[in-house]
């Protein structure tokens, strides 16, 4: 097994699982690296094992596809074709210095990765068009366990990024109150920890995620006071071609509608939450009807009492690792070709990272990517043309549907106008909308980076992941993808190179989350290292101290 080419798949959600299983079936050795204790990603987030659930399927839909995936994973784990490194938080993927420069890369394009062809020099690699290639051309750096203090480095011949997405939440007055949380966050806490944030919940925003969140919370005993969707689902009928291509998606929508009815959840379409109310905790929201222009209809506002607001405005791709590798982006998503290859040789990407489109699309992309990676790594053509064409057609139909849905579920045009100057936009640094606006109007900022430098919006713990779309919307500056050197905070000791080498099939490598956690906990204290979060804080403390002295 050890002599087979080694593909590291990062992310064990639908895309990563599909990719890993497909690649393993096609003859490569796969290491599936994932931050969670169990496979499944956010979509198939499982309750923690010690919670002993006998009916986890009650929290999920598309359970049969999960059973297939997890069954296949178990079989591949048993044969050793796949290793699953749970509780491994990848913070960086490094490409060895055999890569051609950007200009050469552009000229040669994403060529095949051929095992055994070890270029003698970077320039030769570029000229010959043999892209990537040498064994161990990549090093995947991960932090172990929940404490994330110890690092491990995993060598790979090729890397497949299935890093998924995270939720976009646009600000409104009151959105920082405890009790207001992202819709996906509410669902994650329910699926993983079997807890509800409160008893009376409003689910609001826009996009297809709101339906499973509302029905899931209701089934688990919350009273869902309303599902507030700013889009008009009837507009889907006008999305060209997309609906006809995926009648199954319509049926899925109908099933959700039936469930909402069963749980007596009022479904307010073309409505939005304009304000969240409360002192130390949410006690209600004001919702208002929207006109066709996306602006609030005068006189159409009313208050709904609730202790929880689960709100979301769609998803954003996780592109940090792709960014550190130098992969090109289309808008905010990783750019891929027909085989799901990024434009960095030896790096594939699949699922939400390449454009948000849901679990079915992630599965389709994962399978295409896994087949391509296995073929390229073993020096074969990816697959028979007819089969490739069928897979591409399925992917195209799903992408068209996602694009149609996306255009319908765009946040309402007037959202930025409803953000008062006092509203905190950057949650970490407590930067208000007024400050952000003033950076443009008074200080002349013309791009997001300048706004950030002038206001500190995006400089805090989350590094702009939460506030960037809001700052772009409020300022009119084009949304750009921030290139972050690391995908998560890293202890200084790990940065300094104090990390273990992963020896492939070495038994010392822990393959289950609990063992990995224990290992991390064993050395959990006294490393004397600060996290990135701590460093942000220290710099701020110093700044404050400087101010105090003046």
Partner 1 sequence: MNSPLRLADAHPGPSFAVTFDGREIRALPGQTVAAALWAAGVTSWRTTRDQGRPRGVFCGIGVCFDCLVTVNDRPNQRACLLPVEPGDTIRSQAGTGHDG
Binding site for partner 1 (CB under 8 A): 35, 42, 47-56, 58-59, 146-147, 166-167, 169, 176-182, 184-190, 192-198, 219-221, 280-281, 424, 427-428, 430, 460-462, 465-466, 517, 525, 531, 533-534, 537, 540-541
Strand partners, 278: 282
* Smallest distance, partner 1 to C-beta of residue 129, A: 38
Q: Please state, in angstroms and rounded to a whole number, the distance separating the CA atoms of residues 471 and 171.
A: 10
Q: Are strands 29-33 and 431-432 parallel, antiparallel or unpaired?
A: unpaired
* Smallest distance, partner 1 to C-beta of residue 461, A: 4
* Smallest distance, partner 1 to C-beta of residue 13, A: 11
The residue (of 364 and 436) whose beta carbon lies closer to partner 1 is 436
* Smallest distance, partner 1 to C-beta of residue 147, A: 8
* Smallest distance, partner 1 to C-beta of residue 193, A: 3
The residue (of 501 and 535) whose beta carbon lies closer to partner 1 is 535
Burial classification of residue 217, based on how many CB atoms lie within 10 Å of its CB (0-12 exposed, 13-18 middle, 19 or more buried): buried
* Smallest distance, partner 1 to C-beta of residue 178, A: 4
Q: Please state, in angstroms and rounded to a whole number, the distance separating the CA atoms of residues 169 and 206.
A: 10
- Any idea what DSSP says for residue 115? T
Residue 158 and residue 7 in contact, taking contact as beta carbons nearer than 8 Å: yes
* Smallest distance, partner 1 to C-beta of residue 494, A: 17
The residue (of 447 and 534) whose beta carbon lies closer to partner 1 is 534
265-270 contacts, C-beta under 8 A, 24 or more apart? 265/214, 265/215, 265/218, 265/224, 265/226, 265/227, 266/225, 266/226, 266/227, 267/226, 267/227, 267/229, 268/226, 268/227, 268/228, 268/229, 269/229, 269/231, 269/232, 269/233, 270/229, 270/230, 270/231, 270/232
Strand partners, 97: none
* Smallest distance, partner 1 to C-beta of residue 169, A: 8
* Smallest distance, partner 1 to C-beta of residue 288, A: 23
The residue (of 175 and 401) whose beta carbon lies closer to partner 1 is 175
Tokens of 152: 């491990």
The residue (of 152 and 316) whose beta carbon lies closer to partner 1 is 316
- What number of CA atoms fall less than 13 Å from residue 401's CA on the CB side? 21
Burial classification of residue 248, based on how many CB atoms lie within 10 Å of its CB (0-12 exposed, 13-18 middle, 19 or more buried): exposed
The residue (of 129 and 278) whose beta carbon lies closer to partner 1 is 278
The residue (of 185 and 358) whose beta carbon lies closer to partner 1 is 185
Q: Which of 338, 343, 273, 345 is nearest to 309 (CA)?
A: 273
Q: Please state, in angstroms and rounded to a whole number, the distance separating the CA atoms of residues 237 and 405.
A: 10
The residue (of 104 and 534) whose beta carbon lies closer to partner 1 is 534
The residue (of 193 and 379) whose beta carbon lies closer to partner 1 is 193
Tokens of 500: 């273990």
The residue (of 53 and 121) whose beta carbon lies closer to partner 1 is 53
Q: Which of 38, 35, 20, 34 is nearest to 75 (CA)?
A: 20
Residue 32 and residue 182 in contact, taking contact as beta carbons nearer than 8 Å: no
Q: Are strands 180-182 and 82-85 parallel, antiparallel or unpaired?
A: unpaired
The residue (of 183 and 451) whose beta carbon lies closer to partner 1 is 183
Q: Which of 315, 347, 346, 345 is nearest to 333 (CA)?
A: 315
Cα torsion for 66, 68, 72, 74, to the nearest 10°?
60
* Smallest distance, partner 1 to C-beta of residue 115, A: 35
* Smallest distance, partner 1 to C-beta of residue 331, A: 19
């Amino acid at each position: 097994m050890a002599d087979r080419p080694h593909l590291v798949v990062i992310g064990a959600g639908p895309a990563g699982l599909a990719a890993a299983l497909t690649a393993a079936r096609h003859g490569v050795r796969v290491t599936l690296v994932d931050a969670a204790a169990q496979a499944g990603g956010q979509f198939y987030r499982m309750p923690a094992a010690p919670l002993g659930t006998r009916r986890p399927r009650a929290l999920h839909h598309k359970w049969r596809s999960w059973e297939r995936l997890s069954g296949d994973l178990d079989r591949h784990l048993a044969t050793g074709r796949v290793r699953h490194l749970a509780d491994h938080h990848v913070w960086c993927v490094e490409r060895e210095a055999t890569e051609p420069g950007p200009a050469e890369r552009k000229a040669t394009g994403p060529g095949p990765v051929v095992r055994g062809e070890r270029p003698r020099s970077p320039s030769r690699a570029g000229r010959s068009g043999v892209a990537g290639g040498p064994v161990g051309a990549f090093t995947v750096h991960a932090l172990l366990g929940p404490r994330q203090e110890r690092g491990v480095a995993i060598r790979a011949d090729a890397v497949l990024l299935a890093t998924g997405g995270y939720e976009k939440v646009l600000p409104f007055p009151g959105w920082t109150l405890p009790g207001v949380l992202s819709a996906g966050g509410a669902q994650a806490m329910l699926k993983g920890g079997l807890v509800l944030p409160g008893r009376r919940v409003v689910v609001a925003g826009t996009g297809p995620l709101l339906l499973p969140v509302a029905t899931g919370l209701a089934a688990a005993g919350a009273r869902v006071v309303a599902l507030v969707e700013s889009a008009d689902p009837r507009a889907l009928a006008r999305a060209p071609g997309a609906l006809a291509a995926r009648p199954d998606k319509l049926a899925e929508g109908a099933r959700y509608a039936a469930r909402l009815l069963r749980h007596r959840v009022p479904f307010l379409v073309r409505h939005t939450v304009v304000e969240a109310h409360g002192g130390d905790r949410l006690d209600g929201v004001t919702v208002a009807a929207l006109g066709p222009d996306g602006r609030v209809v005068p006189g159409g506002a009313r208050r709904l009492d609730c202790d929880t607001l689960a709100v979301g405005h769609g998803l954003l791709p996780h592109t940090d690792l792709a960014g550190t590798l130098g992969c090109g982006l289309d808008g905010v998503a990783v750019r891929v070709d027909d085989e799901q290859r990024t434009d960095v040789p030896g790096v594939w990407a699949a699922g939400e990272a390449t454009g948000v489109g849901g679990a079915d699309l992630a599965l389709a992309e994962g399978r295409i990517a896994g087949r391509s990676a296995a073929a390229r790594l073993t020096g074969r053509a990816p697959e028979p043309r007819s089969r490739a064409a069928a897979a591409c057609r399925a992917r195209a139909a799903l992408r068209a549907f996602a694009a149609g849905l996306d255009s319908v579920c765009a946040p309402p045009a007037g959202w930025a106008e409803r953000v008062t100057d006092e509203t905190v936009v950057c949650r970490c640094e407590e930067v208000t909308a007024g400050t952000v606006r003033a950076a443009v109007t008074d200080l002349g900022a013309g791009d997001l980076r300048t706004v950030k430098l002038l206001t500190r919006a995006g400089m805090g713990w989350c590094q702009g992941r939460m506030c960037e779309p809001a700052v772009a919307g409020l300022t009119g500056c084009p949304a750009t993808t921030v290139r972050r050197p690391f995908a998560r905070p890293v202890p200084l000791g790990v940065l300094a190179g104090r990390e273990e080498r992963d020896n492939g099939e070495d038994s010392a490598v822990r393959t289950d989350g609990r063992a990995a956690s224990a290992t991390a906990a064993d050395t959990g204290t006294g490393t004397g290292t600060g996290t990135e979060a701590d460093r942000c804080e220290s710099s701020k403390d110093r700044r404050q101290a400087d101010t105090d002295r003046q």
